Structures are given as C-alpha cells and as structure tokens.
Amino acid sequence: MAKAKKQEKQVVRLEMSGIERLGLRVSSMINHPVAQIQRWVTIHRLDTDGDREWEEVMGLLNETDGIDITFNDDESVTLKWEASTEEDRPVEVIEPVEESAPF
C-alpha cells in the first residue's frame, strides 16, 4: 500500500510557450559551433511555429545590431554576422534559478 501512495505523487510540469520554444531553438542554432565558425545559419520555419511567435522572434532578430537577416522564398531565414572581437563581446551573466525541492 505504501508503494502505491509513492507512485501517486503528482509531477508538476512547466510547459514552455511557443515563443520560448522557438527562441530556444533559434538560440541553440546560432550558438552551435559550426554556425559560430561559418558565421551564418539558416532557420527553417516548422509547422509547430505559430504566426505570432515567428513574427515576434524574427522582429527581435531584425532589430538586433550586427545580424543581417535574409528572408528566403521557402519561409526560411538566413542570419549572418561578423566575428566579434574580444573587446566587443558582451559578458553573459547567468542568474541561478531557484527551484523548489522535489520533496
């Protein structure tokens, strides 16, 4: 009986929004080692990417300094950027996310 109660624990799942999922995918493509070497990447729009999410992320990329964006005929987007010097690189600050204990 005790084992049955342990298995009944509810697992809380935090679902990512569409814009978070698309932003994470685009970010990982840009930060991929091959993309960093060649300094360009092509992002294809997936069927799961909503119009609002796609437009918002593409708008943010279009406003970003140092990124040249090309909208292709097949609804993909090609991003190109110049290599940054050590002095121009922004310092990335990662703030720890506090999570509640699982027990």
Per-residue model confidence as pLDDT tens digits over 54-89: 999 999 999 989 999 999 999 899 999 987 765 555
Q: 3-state class of 2 per DSSP?
A: helix
Q: Per-residue pLDDT for 27 more than 60?
A: yes
Whether the CB-CB separation of 35 and 79 falls below 8 Å is answered with: no
Q: Check residues 27 and 11 and name the one with the higher pLDDT.
A: 27
Per-residue model confidence as pLDDT tens digits over 46-57: 998 999 999 999
Range of the domain at 35: 18-81
Q: Give the count of domains, the chain.
A: 1
CATH at 74: 3.90.1070
* Residue 6 falls inside a structural domain: no
The dihedral formed by the CA atoms of 16, 19, 21 and 25, expressed in degrees to the nearest 10: -160
Rounded to two decimals, what is the model's pTM?
A: 0.64
Residue 79: partners with Cβ closer than 8 Å, 6 or more residues away: 30, 40, 41, 42, 43, 61, 67, 68, 69, 70
